[in-house]
Amino acid sequence: MVFNAIAVWLLIASVPLWIYRWFLFSRLTARERLMFKRLVAQRHESSFVFAVRMAGYLIALAVAVFFVVFGLQYLKYGNFGITTYSDTIRSRFYSGIEPVDQALDSYHYDQMLPVAALTTILLVTVAFTLVTAALRDISLIRRLQKKVKKLAS
């Protein structure tokens, strides 16, 4: 539940960040754009590779937690008892918009717990990657503009 809310807020925050990033990028000259693209390609990790690595870490962590929890449940009760997400987690994140809430119920809350955890991990990964990539680019563009301004004067 908490991770779903974090992912939604990160997705909401990514929209103005990407708008601001594209605004700053559009104000660059052709030479500055080329320098920016070269800096991103040479010095920074690809956003896709970062997202895959982050998703891998989160999936490994989730598998370890599931292994411990379901292992302890098997030792205590003699079965794994994997249930749906809605049976395990009672609180839900509703938007108040009926079609969105129905989609959340069918695609997330009614899924088996490991599948719901994987969808949450993927949502958090995408949202976090969008925010960090936008912040990285904004920071890089601003530093590039300062250095070009120093060289020009």
Q: Report the amino acid identity of residue 138.
A: I
What is the model's pLDDT at position 90?
61
Task: Tokens for 45, please give them.
Answer: 């990790």
Residue 87: how many other CB atoms lie within 10 Å: 13
Q: What is the pLDDT confidence band of residue 142, given thresholds at 50, 70 and 90?
A: very high
* Spatial separation of the C-alpha atoms in residues 141 and 17, rounded to whole Å: 13
What is the model's pLDDT at position 92?
60
User: What is the tens place of the pLDDT at every residue in 30-41?
Assistant: 999 999 999 888
What is the model's pLDDT at position 151?
85
Q: What is the pLDDT confidence band of residue 7, given thresholds at 50, 70 and 90?
A: confident
What is the model's pLDDT at position 18?
96
**pLDDT of 139 higher than 90:** yes
Share of the chain above pLDDT 90, in %: 39
What is the model's pLDDT at position 126?
94
User: What is the tens place of the pLDDT at every residue in 58-80?
Assistant: 999 988 988 888 888 788 877 77
